[in-house]
Amino acid sequence: MAYELMIWKDEGITLEDWLEAVDKCELTKPDTAGIELRNPSNGEKVSIQGAHGDVAVKFTEKGFLGLLNKTSWHTSFFFRHSYGAFVYTDSLELPENPVRIAAVKLAKLLDAKIIGEEDEEYHW
């Protein structure tokens, strides 16, 4: 199982406050669409329903000479009862990582902190 980071407040975060912060952050938007994947071994389509509180992050790929930038949205955050969660990846160590930037902005909007599963705090 992947290592999870959390946007955390000791008193908890309500779904209403979470969604309000998501709306205020220009890099995030609610995403309840879910995903559809194809099983490579048998070709069967597998659908995973999204949940209220799932959040997509905006990724922008710069085009040649800054022209024709490509924008895509990737579901990256999940609301878990009283906190926001996202999966740790090595790319989060890069300051320009969109998920890292969004996590910091959401934490500030919620007056929360970013912690890991072992209660270590991330100061990005």
> Tell me: the pLDDT tens digits for 11-36?
999 999 999 999 999 999 999 887 77
The answer to whether 110 and 11 have CB atoms below 8 angstroms apart is no
Residue written as token pair 């955050």: 77
Each residue of 103-112: pLDDT tens digit? 999 999 999 9
pTM summary value: 0.85
Return the sign of the alpha-carbon dihedral for residues 35, 36, 38, 42: positive
pLDDT at position 48: 78
Residue of 86, 101, 121 lying closest to 9 (CA atoms): 121
* Six token digits for residue 76: 């990256």
What tens digit of pLDDT does each residue of 37-71 get? 788 889 888 877 778 899 999 999 887 776 788 99
Structure confidence at residue 118 (pLDDT): 96
Decide which of 69 and 102 is more confident: 102
